[in-house]
Amino acid sequence: MKNPDQDVNAVIGGAHSRVDGPLKCSGGAHYTSDRRLPGMLIAVPVASTIAKGTLTGLNTADAGKMPGVRAVLTHENIGRFYRVNKATKIKIDETRPPLDDNTIRYYGQYIALVVADTFEQASAAAAAVQATYREETPNVAMQMSPDAKPEVESERGDTEAAFAAAPVRLDATYTTPVETHNPIELHASVATFDEGRFTLYESTQAIMNHRSAMAQMLGVDDEQVRIVTEYLGGGFGGKLWPWTHSILAAGAARKLKRPIKLVVSRQMMFQTVGHRPNTQQRMRVSATADGKLMSLQQDYISHAPILDKRKEDCGEATPYLYSTSNLKVTSASARRNIAPDTSMRGPGAVPGLFATESAMDELAILLKMDPVELRVRNEPKIDESLNVPFSSRHLVEALQVGADKFGWSKRDPRVGSMQKDGEVLGWGVASCSWKASRVPAQAAVEFNTDGTLRVSSGTQDIGTGTYTVLAQMAAKQAGVPLSKVVVSIGDTRLPPGPMSGGSMATASLVPAVSEAARDAVKQMLTVASTAQGTPFMDTKPDMLALTDGRVHLKAQAAASGMPFEDVLRAARFNHVTGMGKSGASDSDPDAKKLSIHSYGAHFVEVSWQPAIARLRVKRVVTVIDGGKVINTRTGANQIEGAIMMGVGMALFERTQYDPRNGAPINSNLADYIVSSNADTPDIDVTFLDHPDFALNELGARGIGEIGLAGFAAAMTSAVHHATGVRVRDLPVHIETLL
């Protein structure tokens, strides 16, 4: 019930500023596209202007003669690329290497690469490459029917019979559009090739996976590829797995033996680096007259690219969210001439919960029941899909705390009944959930004679606060002040760390850093026992402790001790390094016996002014049950950012394709609207403080994605309350409210 932020100075659970903040604010943080290497050339891809057909000719002669042009690379001269072997568990969404054949499967597919001295020269020459095609009519329709028999994902009881017999029933279809990731930092690769080794500066959320994928595609060993990603300006899932521009840049560097920079333009970001696919979800929900769910059925379809198939897992949260004896989830896909889709923040559950939570709201209205009460009545005791207990679930508390903070008891459920200052207010609520797990991770913790404690791991910070929480974990577990910690990440030369995705980085890093810190402290105390001229010389290590950065006798206070750097010097050591490792929760027998998820509740107030057709989001109260939140400041930022993204999902975001040539039409930030500061409501984020020790000893789960889950449903429920219009097809268009 209390925000864990009772003590803002607590190393774990405090509200710490970002350790990388000063560098970011002063221009000292270098992003991939900032990199300028001696002799570097600039590459600009040539993109297909059709979405389906055959590339019949490519005339590069004119382009090749233009000023500054060093090469026009095509399948004939760029060198070989190979495929990623999925059996190696290395992830990539678009498995066809670039320039691999002459079939065009989506608009914007790369067909050549121009390399020149400057960006302007390369762009001009790319525009001068002449392609001829045998064009066919692409299928980019958003309306979908399954390509094949739907697959049953989860089933219990007899859903159809229960639905048929139920007194209260809802049968409604919800759709969400293609949404394109728009991190402000564009995708970029700066590739170098030197003596058989690639150093690739990338904008990736997963350096370790990126290295192996690139090594496989380039036909070299992992050891011959180094990936560096010091800072990222956002990713949202679009930067999880390598895209074709990375391999093109590396291929060009290999061919020309010069560093190559390739920055994907904003327009190309709508074509070749993934998006959330559109989804169409039919929900059939039924209940007894007093609001007990009798059945829950979700049949969903999402689009898929022509070659690869990735499932948008809309049913992920459905089987465990509410108690019901009869449940069925089915999925299907429909192939389209659209580039491969990928994970976008909360993949699956985010569009999925738009449907489930909207259906719960509609059901509450049919039942004439408060939508919070309906959810509370259907709270399960265990995960009914897996028949295992929840590790820690406080959804009801999140709903109740949120309702109190929001003032929900004052809600008049009648449509349009709440007015203030000439505006109609609409109040909506939704639950949210997101899975929590751990992936393998390694970390090193090192005491140095310069007085720093260095924590390193081959992970990366996508802007979410990984630098900061790593510093906090290391400080806490090694017994050193936070100000002394230095963080090294973003380089595959470091011990392999987790990807920044799936809300898993923090939970995965905790055990690795903890073990590394314990190992380092143990070594430090052993070293102290050999430190000449100190009070610890010839003391047994187990009589010593390390607190506040000082080695001291356990029997005495830390203040009586000696700073670790002095001890290292006295013992003639430059540094001591501890190593730690964590394993995947998937292969952890204890974790496997539990259903581990985060939960939360969103309460939203919108205002509607029918006379001027203006809809605003005024106020949001969000309560998150995410286990122990390590840093309440960066944590709250995560949720606030997700809510902003949720406002965009509910009201603005939709990628539109031209049916004639399959081109994303609104491929820029003026026409593809994301929410901005002016759209920001008052946001009140509360974290429930229930550490969940199923994944690690600090009780942390993960909070990167959950803030977006369910939010759009809370929005459309609020819109319905204000206007009487139920929007089942996102985003909300003002026209539909009139």
Task: Give the residue numbers annotated as catalytic, written as ranges.
Answer: 705
347 binds ligand MOS per the rule CB under 6 A: yes
Judged by CB under 6 A, the chain residues 2 through 31 that form the site for ligand MOS are none
Residue 146, preceding peptide bond in cis (omega within 30° of 0): no
Listed ranges 36-44, 338-346, 408-416, 586-594: which one lies at the site for ligand MOS (CB under 6 A)? 338-346
Radius of gyration (C-alpha) of the chain in whole angstroms: 27
Nearest-10 Cα torsion for 550, 554, 556, 562: -20
Listed ranges 4-12, 304-312, 339-347, 712-720: which one lies at the site for ligand MOS (CB under 6 A)? 339-347
Annotate 263-298 with DSSP letters as a single string.
E--HHHHHHHS--BPPEEEEEEEEE-TTS-EEEEEE
Listed ranges 56-64, 161-169, 340-348, 651-659: which one lies at the site for ligand MOS (CB under 6 A)? 340-348
Per DSSP, what are the bridge partners of residue 579? 444
The answer to whether the Cα torsion of 583, 589, 590, 596 is positive or negative is positive
259 binds ligand MOS per the rule CB under 6 A: no
Judged by CB under 6 A, the chain residues 281 through 320 that form the site for ligand MOS are none
Q: Are 320 and 386 in contact (CB under 8 A)?
A: yes
> Which residue's C-beta sits nearest to ligand MOS?
237
Residues 296, 154: Cα–Cα separation, whole Å: 11
Q: Give the tokens for residue 637.
A: 């930022």
Pairing of strands 453-456, 485-488: parallel
237 binds ligand MOS per the rule CB under 6 A: yes
Residues 551, 447: Cα–Cα separation, whole Å: 12
- The mark string for 451-480 relative to ligand MOS (x by CB under 6 A, - otherwise) is ------------------------------
Query: Would you say 108 or 501 has its CB closer to ligand MOS?
Result: 501
Q: Are 525 and 551 in contact (CB under 8 A)?
A: yes
Q: C-beta of 268: minimal distance to ligand MOS in Å?
A: 20
Q: C-beta of 350: minimal distance to ligand MOS in Å?
A: 9
Contact pick of 240, 339, 369, 443 for ligand MOS (by CB under 6 A): 240
Which amino acid does the sequence have at 549? G
Query: Would you say 240 or 650 has its CB closer to ligand MOS?
Result: 240
Q: C-beta of 709: minimal distance to ligand MOS in Å?
A: 11
709 binds ligand MOS per the rule CB under 6 A: no
Alpha helices in 322-465 (DSSP H): 349-367, 371-377, 395-406
Residues 703, 693: Cα–Cα separation, whole Å: 15
Q: Are 178 and 277 in contact (CB under 8 A)?
A: yes
Q: Give the tokens for residue 43.
A: 């590459």
Q: C-beta of 704: minimal distance to ligand MOS in Å?
A: 7
Residues 327, 285: Cα–Cα separation, whole Å: 9
Query: Would you say 187 or 375 has its CB closer to ligand MOS?
Result: 187
Helix axes 207-218, 244-256, angle to 10 degrees: 50
- The mark string for 217-236 relative to ligand MOS (x by CB under 6 A, - otherwise) is ------------------xx
Q: Give the tokens for residue 26.
A: 């002063």
Contact pick of 109, 192, 205, 356 for ligand MOS (by CB under 6 A): 205
Q: C-beta of 205: minimal distance to ligand MOS in Å?
A: 6
Contact pick of 497, 502, 549, 578 for ligand MOS (by CB under 6 A): 502
Count interface residues toward ligand MOS (CB under 6 A).
12
Contact pick of 336, 345, 411, 654 for ligand MOS (by CB under 6 A): 345
Q: Which residue has the tokens 């605003």?
A: 616
702 binds ligand MOS per the rule CB under 6 A: no
Residue 25, CA distances (Å) to 20, 448, 515 in order: 9, 28, 33
Query: Would you say 113 or 712 has its CB closer to ligand MOS?
Result: 712
Query: Would you say 343 or 534 has its CB closer to ligand MOS?
Result: 343
501 binds ligand MOS per the rule CB under 6 A: yes
Listed ranges 280-288, 341-349, 420-428, 584-592: which one lies at the site for ligand MOS (CB under 6 A)? 341-349
277 binds ligand MOS per the rule CB under 6 A: no
Q: Are 357 and 430 in contact (CB under 8 A)?
A: yes
Closest CA to 355 of 259, 414, 431: 431
Q: C-beta of 203: minimal distance to ligand MOS in Å?
A: 13
Residue ranges in contact with ligand MOS by CB under 6 A:
205, 235-237, 240, 343-345, 347, 501-502, 705
